[in-house]
Chain A
Amino acid sequence: MKRLLAWLSGIAVALVIVLGLGWLIWVPSPHEPPYRLVASWGGAGTAPGQFQDPIGIAVAQGKIFVADARNHRIQVFDRSGQFLSVIGHPGTGLGGLGRPMNIAIANSKLYVADYWNDDIEVFSVDGTPLQVIGHSGSGPGEFKAPSGVAVLPDGNLVVADFYNQRVQELRPDGTFVRQWGETGKKGYVRSGTFNYPTDVAADTQGNIYVADGYNDRIQVFGLSGRFLRMWGGPFGLHLPASVNFLGSLNGWFKTPTAMAISPTDGDVFVADEENDRIQKFTAHGKFLTAFGTPPQGPGFTETGVAVASDGTVYSTNLVADKVEVWKARTPR
């Protein structure tokens, strides 16, 4: 009996040590205070300045661009939230938008991933339609619900091809360069495979960040396309979101839906939608802080994210149909 008790005690102590170490390693404490909400604008509706499902958001040239998904348009605001203009119109073809999702701005062009039209719409930042890239399908350069787009330093595009379970790199004219992930096949654990990728981002070195939506992790790939790292729980080796019951912990995710990379220091902001928060990491995935608006009722809040060169963070609050403005509490 004594021996059994000793055995059980030993196992209990070992378990406690393992769990404790696991907690210390994989549940990091914040290194910064949460950002504070300094402004918001919008509300549900179809009028200028109102939204029906604001998703993607980008900031450039002192303007905020918001993908107003159910209103089939991009709305443009100044940094105080004053409505300026609308880009795109409901429909298909050049300038037509079905369900605009995550967006990107580079070289004075606005790139819109259109989930319903299965293409990337390109506009000048003043709203002139320039180009339609891709069409429905699963072949090279084709899309099945593109959900996010980023522009590499050399001008190539990277697209999160949601239902094709892959990320594609394309030349500016839309010709195929390469892809990560096996077309149409979900991958749950192995790096370079995806379970509904929701967004992509590129840093100034050309590294590619992928929000691997239902795997609740971020994956990073280098210039040559090789896998560099991933995070979101232990080693980023996540089980599918449906069984990820620990995804609310610091540094973990519950459906990351968008990313933004700070143009000044390379920090990575992730919209962690089902946790109603934005999480901030270093480029290497070290958790820094988290912040967000709790929902007032059913539904989720923080869905899209953008960061300006002065460090101001802009997010879309899906359930409230609003844009939110966040500032760091510590002086930069």
Chain B
Amino acid sequence: MLRLMIKLAGLFSLSLGLIAVTPAFAAPANTGSHPNAYVLQVDGLACPFCAYGIEKEFSRQLGVENTNVNLANGVLIVTVKPGTRFSDAQLKQVVHAAGFVLKAVVSRPTGKTS
């Protein structure tokens, strides 16, 4: 019985260790840049509820045409009308209002179409 316990404890510890280190090796998101969009890395995006919440918040902002959330890599693409610009503080505030944390602004609108 004790051996079984030891094995179980070993497995438990091993799984703890493996799970704990996994995020450190996660590949960075392949996001690219978009001529009329902000590409944002957001912490904690996991389910459609998160995605829709953040889309809903951005849809209320003037100049936002649409938002697209990639749940798999936690990337949010906010397409804006030409000339629309948000400061980092504004982006942070909108993401925060949806209950999340803005990790990074990966790219901003370049205004170029090619």
Contact = CB atoms under 8 A, between A and B. Distances in A.
A138 to B, nearest CB: 13
Given A17-B5, A162-B53, A245-B20, A303 B47 contact: yes
Main secondary structure of the interface of B (DSSP, over half): helix
Contact of A198 (B49, B56, B72, B99): B49
The residue among A20, A55, A241, A242 with the most chain B CB atoms within 10 A of its own CB is A20
A196 interface: yes
Main secondary structure of the interface of A (DSSP, over half): mixed
A255 B16 contact: no
Nearest to B72: A298
Contacts of B71: 298-300
Contact of B49 (A15, A162, A298): A162
B53 A163 contact: yes
B49 A274 contact: no
Interface string B1-34: 0101110110011011001100000000000000
Interface string B44-65: 1011110011001000000000
Interface size, A (range): 35 or more
B48 A303 contact: yes
Contacts, number: 86
A142 interface: no
Contact of A101 (B2, B6, B20, B49): B49
B72 A69 contact: no
A17 B2 CA distance: 8
Interface in A235-280: 241-242, 245-246, 248, 254-255, 257, 273-274
Interface in A41-91: 53, 55, 69
B107 interface: no
Given A245-B19, A245-B20, A299-B71, A255 B47 contact: yes
A31 to B, nearest CB: 19
A318 B49 CA distance: 12
A318 B48 contact: yes
Contacts of B15: 246
Contacts of B48: 53, 55, 69, 101, 257, 303, 318
B9 A20 contact: yes
A241 B16 contact: no
A147 interface: yes
Q: Which 6 A-B pairs have the closest CB atoms?
A: A298-B72, A20-B5, A19-B9, A245-B19, A16-B9, A23-B8
Interface of A: 15-17, 19-24, 53, 55, 69, 99, 101, 115-116, 145, 147, 162-163, 196, 198, 213, 241-242, 245-246, 248, 254-255, 257, 273-274, 297-300, 303, 318
